[in-house]
Amino acid sequence: MKNNTLKTLKIFWQFNWRHKPTLFLTLGGVFCATILQLIEPLLYKKFFDLLMLGNSPEVVSQLIHILIIIGCLSFSSWFCWRTMGFAYVYLSSKVMSELSNFCFAKLHLHSFSYFNNNFVGTLVKRVQWFVKAYENVSDRIVYDLGTLLINVVFIVAILFWRNFYLGLVIFIWLIVFLLIVTVFSKYKYKYDLARNDAQSESTGYLADTVTNNANLKLFNAYEREKQGFAGKQEKVRSLMWFSWSLSEVFHAVQGFFMISLELGMFYMAIRLWQKNILTLGDFVLIQAYLINIFNHIWSFGRTIVRLYEGLSDAEEMTEIINAEPEILDIPKAKNLAVDKGEIEFKEVGFNYHQTREVLKNFNLTIKPGERIAIIGPSGAGKTTIAKILLRMHDLSAGKIIIDGQNISQVTQESIWKNISLVPQDPILFHRPLLENIRYGNPKATKKDVINAAIAANCHEFIENLAEGYDTYVGERGIKLSGGERQRVAIARAILHNAPILILDEATSSLDSESEKLIQDALDKLMKNKTVIVIAHRLSTIRKMDRIVVVDQGKIIEEGTHQSLITKQLGIYKKLWELQAGGFI
């Protein structure tokens, strides 16, 4: 069973400890307010004892004096609670904001493959639940457990002072009761974790179907997916029902214990009163303290249950926080410095999931400023070459050198700073087009953005939109066509202006007219850069300095377009003739 309870509490405490003055003001306010409230029943005991002495002026004077003291205590307690309240809401809002930022930072430190292996909806839920869990756990500790501890210690001490047996009975009862609560809560906790796992699975399923809503409709899968989701929800319901039923059983046991204690305490009090050991005021004191204890103890049962529920809500995000990213910079890694742009793949080996071998003893040297194209059948390893160059994955063997620097020895940030990527299926933020293009260079002016858009042949269609560059593109850029998204991505890469450029099927979604215009823009973009073009459409790579043909993770041919099409029985020549004969 997963259990990161202590790790979760440690994280929460560390963020609270950053705000020591507010934390101490909060805890001090709770302590003072609770103690002041516990003194009041002692004064009421004296008040009722005085009532038994008659209504003489002296007694009345003493009664009024006690009321004044009770009033002062009540207002002082009220002041402490309000002070604590303002301090606590400031502390909570501050810590929750910092935890959100912390989760964001920790989540995005994970490698590319981590996001490929987890549903977006599940990851978002984990962050939200972790922050919400802090609020839940913090409220339970401050308002419930803190006040319970102070009340129990003080009340038991007072009852021992009034009579040893009264104190002993309630002390033993508390020990037994708290042990039962603790054992029960730990037992229930594993079902809370199972419920959360089921809810995460259901959330991920929902997110997956929303992302694939078009497939759901086009493949007549509505009823099938509806039943699939209902199955996930039934698992959630079943675990939720069982968990809540356990809570109801516990509440029944808890109520039985409370009734037994109250009857037992008053029976003992009657016997002691009969022996003139207790007074009428003691009955008021006992009842006030019993009500106090019952209120807190009843809350304690719920508090422990909710505390464990909150901790179980935080469990999955705590795992993410404590999990080491798949790819880490070495200690004191230096930044990659690219002067020429020479790239060397030396005896490179790479496996997916340690079983599927994609590259083996792969060797390739790309000269500074050289423009090469990598082609080959699907699954040959073309896109993998781009991914390992960007260090989306670490190598199984060999090394990649850029201008004499092993990319495993430099910071990942500096690699991405020096390499621009235009992927086959670019994803945009649900933000204005201006901001999406400027993402390549946050310091770019609007004029720079427009110039990049013109070069990428997307300025015209942007200008024709109702809100122009202020148009929001929808989640993942869904409001734009594939070709429009790709041109925006090319404009973004133009602004990024890195010395090394990777085009992964960058023109595959363009019509012939747009492709010609984009090719002109790319020719300008490629100047003075080392360029790797991954392509299936061979018409886009005829002007490359070198074409590398890859199959089964190895280079089987390389040369210029002209040299390769004259090579008898060559793979490239065969592919060229198929495309030229089929489409030209």
- Reported for 323-327, long-range contacts at CB under 8 A and 24+ positions apart, including other chains, are 323/110, 325/109, 325/110, 325/111, 325/114, 326/110, 326/111, 326/113, 326/114, 326/394, 327/111, 327/391, 327/392, 327/393, 327/394, 327/412
Block residue for tokens 């996001």: 115
Q: Which of 284, 249, 414 is nearest to 337 (CA)?
A: 414
Provide the residue type at 435 as one letter: E
Q: Which of 394, 386, 374 is nearest to 551 (CA)?
A: 374
Q: Are 291 and 40 in contact (CB under 8 A)?
A: no
| Planar angle of CA 277, 280, 281, nearest 5 degrees | 100
Diameter of the chain measured on Cα atoms: 126
Distances (CA, A) of 468 to 293, 375, 435, 453: 66, 37, 12, 12
How many Å apart are CA 99 and CA 353, to the nearest integer?
A: 33
Q: Are 152 and 296 in contact (CB under 8 A)?
A: yes
Q: What is the pLDDT along the chain (584 residues), one digit of tens a residue?
A: 456 778 888 888 999 899 999 999 999 998 999 888 888 887 777 777 777 777 788 878 888 888 898 889 889 989 999 999 899 999 988 988 888 888 888 888 777 777 767 666 677 778 888 888 888 888 888 888 888 888 888 888 887 887 787 878 888 888 888 788 778 877 877 787 788 788 878 887 887 888 778 778 767 788 888 898 998 889 889 888 988 888 788 778 877 877 887 787 778 778 878 778 877 777 887 777 777 777 777 767 677 777 777 787 787 788 778 777 778 888 888 999 988 889 999 998 888 766 677 888 889 999 998 999 998 877 778 888 888 898 888 888 899 999 989 998 999 889 888 988 888 777 788 888 888 888 888 888 889 888 888 888 788 888 888 888 888 887 777 778 777 888 888 888 888 888 998 888 766 655 666 666 667 767 767 778 899 988 877 777 888 889 998 888 888 888 888 888 888 777 888 888 777 654 44
Q: Are 218 and 269 in contact (CB under 8 A)?
A: no
H-only helix segments in 19-140: 20-51, 57-108, 112-116, 120-139
Structure tokens at 94: 């501050």
Residues with Cβ < 8 Å from 278, sequence gap 6 or more? 162, 163, 269, 272
CATH topology of domain 347-583: Rossmann fold (3.40.50)
| Planar angle of CA 101, 104, 109, nearest 5 degrees | 130
Using CA atoms in the order 316, 318, 319, 321, what is the torsion angle rounded to 10 degrees? 130
Tell me the domain boundaries of the chain: 5-322, 347-583
How many Å apart are CA 526 and CA 339, to the nearest integer?
A: 16
Residues with Cβ < 8 Å from 226, sequence gap 6 or more? none
Q: Are 126 and 320 in contact (CB under 8 A)?
A: yes
Correct CATH for 5-322 of 3.30.1490.20, 1.20.1560.10, 1.10.10.10, 3.30.70.380: 1.20.1560.10
